[in-house]
């Protein structure tokens, strides 16, 4: 045995001398993963192994796996609204200690290409921890926010990115050397992507960022001196003391051509009051009028709603051709939800556009009209959330505009609260006359939309109550159908809105609820505890209504597994289990 | 079939029929019936083998690329010419390795090599002999992965073509002299070499029971080639 040990030691020494004798670090990394649903698969972000494993389902319930390398130390993961892009932001090996250390980066993985995810990597100058994805898919913006990752950093620095274009580093020399005369963009010099901008600050730090929908804004005057408009989009940056607007049309241009951001302070500058932004609402107003777009901002610390009207700017050196006019309207208490609504025509605004703010502390709603006059309406309950359902309720109507219909509900957290149900509110008049309440037994925990943009059943919403019961609300029939559950179900709804899956997180029970019939396919089980479920189109299918789909239920134990069911004909017998998904090494 | 064939061939060469008969007579006439049993002999070897497997496919099963093996062999001299001889036999190497995989699973590997060592020897009287060896044969590769995401242990067993090439030296410990005397002798020997094993794709499947109708896909750990250098030390007895 002594001889054997000496032999082993000799081999080990020889190996050490030859630089051999260790294994890939991958095998020593623990599994610390998270899953994200995509339109046509599931992404397992395996951060410790610096990779994303994209799972896509095949017609025989097998899974195809594609691994994509990502940066070190993942900070944020997000998916695009359409589910075809995965954004993975990483801080790299920060602070870098050697030339081989990795710098921060954002990896965008495009899964719209069947079978072969296409990653694009965008290096960044400093690690950032917050990421906002444009719902229309044009841009993304990264910012530091309140979570600091560096010894010192500039919280007003943001990184703007066009995920549809490849990485393009900034030109070594300024494009402004000729005064900006050289063409840029289409047909001209290639614009940098991403761009890093330092947002002006009046002492605040960015808290929330959002992209507006297209707005028809002032863009100069014609020969008659009339304001002409142009469609553009803005990036809104809410800070603790101000709101900043950045015209995205010019955001990627060189400094000399870029329109500067517009910052409006929320206070008069005489106080040190800090606000906690709660949200913004945006409305373009009359699509043909370039001077009536507006933004409403509310905070969780102020009883005023701030309204910004985007009007034509006075001629001058300012490159921006619009300017915000700010007003604040008191609503009595801190509002919980704010949106723009259309009521019957108003004296000052025949378009009937008003701001509607819910003030649950006063069990009321407040309308703010075009002249910032407020009208308080007492509500039958302290509704805290609202959603406009006009397009569904008025489906089939020939009218293009008209009074909105809002769905109100009170978000509760415990069964000890009273259930106020949901209320349909016809907003023809600024009164409580048009309220129609549909009762449910308990306070509502959450309201889920049924399907995405291509939903076949947009008239349905799913209400999850605090006692774990589920109601399916039909907006057109104004009915609420209960689904009783014995355990707290988690829900997943297919993109086409024809199926809902209920499962017990950490359990093995699964059920399909067909929509809108509410027919149940019960008795589905998995052999291992379920982490999440995702209704996805199959790898070989085109997106859209009727695309063959599968349900992928993930199992987070061990090296992660998944059970794949046919979405069209689910059964436990035909389901297939895939094992050790995060054990397989990247080829 | 391969292992049984190898066993049959090995046993055939070990049948004591040829060595003495085919051993050429020494030059001197008085020694016409003289047989040096330090050259023409039957040997039993028992030892330890350490293989270095650098292939990345071995990584799940080992943290240091080392595969320790137990070694057992029997050989018989088939042909003697002057200071040189040729021997053949049957050898069995058995070893395994296991390691933690990503801190969640345990992967294990066992390798059984069954080979026919064909050995050319150059003898140095009481000092023993140097040898070169080629050992074609087969290897049974058994791999196993225990993972909580699988309803059953994932495993795979595959017979593969295998060959060892090595060179070494056998040192006669006792008794070193009196070659013609037919008696037991003790040897210590060591050899170094290179092992070839056919590459295998490690697609492990679940060991579901016969009545289990679950449809379960396995795991693909990639290709594995157990090729690599090795070092072997052993003790041998000859007679």
Say if CB A466 and CB A415 are below 8 A apart. Answer: yes
| Structure tokens that stand for A360 in this block | 């649950």
Q: Do A579 and B215 make contact, defined as CB atoms within 8 angstroms? A: no
Q: What is the pLDDT of residues A447-489, one digit of tens each?
A: 999 987 788 999 999 998 888 889 999 998 888 899 888 888 8
Q: What percent of chain A has pLDDT over 70?
A: 86
Radius of gyration of chain A (CA): 27
Q: Residue A571: what pLDDT? A: 93
- Please tell me the pTM assigned to this model: 0.87
pLDDT tens by residue, B177-215: 877 778 889 999 999 999 999 999 999 999 888 888 889
Mean pLDDT of all residues in B26-38? 59
User: Does the beta-carbon distance from A558 to B150 stay under 8 Å?
Assistant: yes
Does residue B33 belong to any structural domain of this protein? no
Q: Tens digits of per-residue pLDDT, B66-122?
A: 999 999 999 999 999 989 999 999 999 999 999 999 998 899 999 999 999 999 999
Cis peptide before A391 (omega within 30 of 0): no
Complex ipTM, two decimals?
0.81
Higher pLDDT: A6 or A255? It is A255
Q: Write down the pLDDT at residue A374.
A: 92
Query: pLDDT-derived band of residue A118, with 50, 70 and 90 as boundaries?
Result: very high
Parent domain of B80? 2-26+40-100+110-144+157-198+228-238
B221 touches chain A (CB under 8 A): yes
pLDDT in tens, A11-70: 555 554 444 568 888 999 999 999 999 999 999 999 999 999 999 999 999 999 999 999
CA distance A363 to B109: 69
Determine the Cα–Cα distance for residues B234 and B133; give it in Å rounded to an integer: 15
Decide: A584 and B221 in contact? Cβ < 8 Å: yes
CB-based contact B150 A580, cutoff 8 Å? yes
What is the distance in angstroms between the Cα of A502 and the nearest Cα belonging to chain B? 21
B71 domain residue, yes or no: yes
Give the chain B residue nearest A23 (alpha carbons): B59
Compute the nearest-CA separation of B158 from chain A (Å): 20
Nearest chain A residue to B193, by CA: A11
Chain B residues whose CB is inside 8 A of the A61 CB are 215
Q: Give the model's pLDDT for residue B1.
A: 45
**Is the CB of residue B33 less than 8 Å away from at least one CB of chain A?**
no
Of all residues in chain B, the percent with pLDDT exceeding 90 is: 70
A9 touches B: beta carbon within 8 Å: no
- Chain A hits for B66, CB-CB cut-off 8 Å, are 8, 11-12, 15, 21
**Considering the domain boundaries, does residue B213 fall inside one?**
no
- For residue A573, which residues of chain B lie inside 8 Å, CB to CB? 213
Tell me what the mean pLDDT of segment A360-386 comes to.
Answer: 91
- Domains of chain A, earliest start first: 226-330 (no CATH), 332-484 (2.130.10.10)
Q: Phi first, then psi: what are they for A434, rounded to 5°?
A: -85, 15
- Round to whole Å and give the CA distance between A170 and B198: 52
- The interface residues of chain B toward chain A in range 105-144, judged by CB-CB distance below 8 A, are 105
pLDDT reading at B7 higher than 60: no
Q: Is residue B127 part of a domain?
A: yes
pLDDT, tens digit (0-9, with 9 covering 90-100), for A328-369: 999 999 999 999 998 876 665 666 789 999 999 999 999 998
CATH number, domain with residue B47: 2.40.160.20
Q: What is the pLDDT of residue B32?
A: 44
Nearest CA in chain A to B220: A584
Give contacts of A 25-84 with B, CB under 8 A: 26-31, 49, 61-63
Average pLDDT over residues A429-439: 85
A-to-B residue pairs, Cβ atoms closer than 8 angstroms: 153
Q: Report the pLDDT value the prediction gives residue A271, as an integer from 0 to 100.
A: 67
User: Does any CB of chain A come closer than 8 Å to the CB of residue B233?
Assistant: yes
Nearest residue in chain B measured CA to CA from A16: B64
Q: Is residue B152 part of a domain?
A: no
Domain annotation covers residue B223: no
For an interface test with B, the pick among A21, A27, A577 (most B C-beta atoms closer than 10 Å) comes out as A27
Position B88 in a domain: yes
Q: Is residue B209 part of a domain?
A: no
Q: List CB contacts of A459: < 8 A, sequence separation 6 or more.
A: A392, A395, A474, A475, A476, A516
Nearest-Cα distance to chain A for B18, in Å, is: 34
Q: Is the pLDDT of residue A115 over 80?
A: no
Whether residue B145 and residue A31 make contact (CB cut-off 8 A), yes or no, is no
Q: What is the mean pLDDT of chain A?
A: 86
In tens, the pLDDT along A483-512 reads 888 888 899 999 889 999 999 889 999 999
Cα gap A262→A283, rounded to integer Å: 18
Residue of B50, B99, B150 lying closest to A561 (CB–CB) = B150
Q: What are the phi and psi torsion angles at A497 (to 5°)?
A: 75, 20
Residue B196 main-chain phi, psi, to 5 deg:
-115, 130
DSSP assigned state of A442: S
Q: Are B226 and B51 in contact (CB under 8 A)?
A: yes
What total of structural domains would you count in chain B? 1
H or E element at residue B122:
strand B118-123
Q: Is the dihedral of CA A220, A222, A228, A230 positive or negative?
A: negative
**Rounded to an integer, what distance in angstroms lies between the CA atom of residue B42 and that of residue A331?**
104
């Amino acid at each position: 045995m002594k001889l054997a040990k000496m032999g082993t030691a000799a081999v080990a020494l020889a190996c050490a001398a030859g630089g051999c004798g260790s294994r890939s670090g991958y095998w020593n990394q623990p599994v610390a993963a998270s899953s994200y649903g995509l339109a046509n698969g599931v992404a397992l972000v395996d951060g410790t192994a610096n990779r994303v494993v994209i799972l896509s389902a095949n017609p025989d319930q097998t899974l195809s796996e594609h691994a994509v390398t990502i940066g070190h130390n993942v900070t944020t993961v997000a998916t695009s609204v359409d589910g075809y892009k995965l954004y993975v932001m990483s801080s790299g090996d920060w602070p870098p200690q050697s030339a081989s250390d990795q710098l921060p980066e954002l990896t965008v993985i495009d899964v719209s290409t069947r079978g072969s995810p296409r990653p694009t990597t965008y290096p960044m100058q400093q690690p950032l921890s917050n990421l906002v994805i444009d719902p229309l898919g044009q841009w993304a913006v990264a910012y530091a926010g309140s979570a600091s990752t560096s010894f010192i950093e500039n919280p007003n620095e943001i990184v703007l990115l066009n995920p549809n274009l490849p990485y393009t580093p900034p030109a070594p020399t300024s494009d402004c050397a000729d005064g900006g005369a050289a063409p840029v963009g289409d047909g001209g010099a290639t614009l940098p992507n991403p761009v890093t901008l330092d947002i002006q600050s009046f002492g605040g730090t960015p808290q929330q960022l959002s992209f507006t929908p297209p707005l028809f804004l002032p863009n100069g005057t014609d020969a008659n001196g009339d304001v002409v408009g142009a469609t553009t989009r803005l990036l809104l940056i809410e800070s603790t003391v101000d709101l900043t607007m950045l015209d995205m049309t010019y955001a990627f241009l060189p400094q000399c051509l870029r329109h500067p951001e517009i910052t409006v302070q929320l206070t008069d500058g005489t106080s040190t009051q800090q606000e906690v932004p709660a949200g913004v609402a945006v409305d373009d107003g009359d699509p043909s009028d370039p001077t009536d777009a507006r933004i409403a901002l509310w905070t969780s610390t102020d009883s005023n709603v701030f309204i910004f009207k985007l009007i034509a700017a006075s001629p001058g050196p300012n490159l921006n051709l619009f300017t915000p006019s700010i007003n604040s309207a008191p609503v009595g208490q801190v509002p919980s939800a704010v949106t723009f609504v259309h009521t019957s025509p108003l004296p000052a605004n025949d378009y009937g556009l008003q701001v509607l703010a819910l003030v649950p502390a006063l069990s009321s709603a407040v309308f703010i009209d075009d002249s910032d006059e407020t009208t308080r309406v007492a509500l039958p309950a302290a509704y805290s959330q609202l959603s406009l359902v006009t397009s569904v309720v008025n489906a089939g109507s020939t009218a293009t505009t008209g009074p909105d219909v809002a769905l109100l509900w009170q978000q509760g957290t415990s069964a000890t609260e009273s259930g106020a149900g949901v209320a349909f509110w016809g907003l023809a008049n600024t009164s409580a006359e048009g309220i129609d309440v549909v009762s449910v037994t308990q306070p509502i925990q959450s309201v889920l939309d049924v399907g995405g943009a291509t939903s076949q059943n947009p008239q349905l919403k799913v209400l999850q109550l605090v006692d774990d019961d589920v109601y399916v609300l039909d907006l057109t029939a104004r009915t609420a159908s209960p689904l009783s559950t014995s355990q707290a179900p988690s829900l997943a709804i297919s993109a086409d809105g024809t199926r809902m899956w209920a499962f017990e997180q950490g359990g093995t029970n699964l059920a399909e609820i067909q929509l809108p019939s509410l027919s149940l396919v019960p008795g589905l089980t998995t052999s291992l505890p379920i982490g999440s479920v995702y209704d996805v189109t199959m790898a070989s299918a085109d997106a859209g209504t009727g695309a063959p789909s599968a349900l992928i239920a993930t199992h987070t134990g061990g090296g992660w597994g998944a059970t794949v069911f046919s979405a069209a004909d689910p059964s436990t017998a035909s389901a297939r289990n895939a094992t050790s998904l995060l054990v397989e090494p990247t080829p | 079939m391969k292992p049984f064939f190898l066993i049959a061939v090995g046993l055939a060469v070990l049948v004591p029929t040829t060595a003495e008969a085919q051993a050429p007579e020494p030059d001197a006439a008085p020694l016409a019936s003289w047989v040096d049993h330090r050259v023409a002999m039957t040997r039993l070897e028992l030892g330890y083998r350490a293989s270095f497997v650098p292939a990345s496919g071995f990584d799940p099963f080992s943290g240091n690329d080392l595969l320790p093996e137990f070694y057992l062999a029997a050989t018989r001299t088939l042909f003697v010419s002057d200071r040189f001889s040729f021997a053949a036999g049957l050898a069995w190497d058995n070893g395994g390795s296991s390691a933690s995989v990503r801190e969640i699973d345990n992967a294990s590997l066992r390798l059984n090599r069954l080979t026919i060592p064909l050995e050319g020897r150059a003898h140095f009287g009481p000092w023993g002999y140097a040898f070169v060896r080629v050992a074609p044969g087969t290897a049974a590769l058994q791999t196993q992965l225990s993972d909580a995401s699988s309803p059953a242990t994932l495993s795979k067993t595959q017979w593969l073509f295998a060959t060892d090439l090595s060179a070494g030296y056998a040192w006669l410990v006792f008794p070193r002299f009196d070659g013609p005397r037919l008696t037991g002798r003790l040897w210590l020997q060591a050899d170094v070499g290179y092992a070839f094993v056919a590459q295998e794709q490690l697609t492990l499947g679940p060991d579901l029971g016969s009545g289990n109708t679950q449809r379960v896909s396995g795991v693909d750990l990639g290709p594995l080639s157990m090729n690599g250098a090795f070092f072997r030390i052993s003790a041998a007895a000859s007679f």
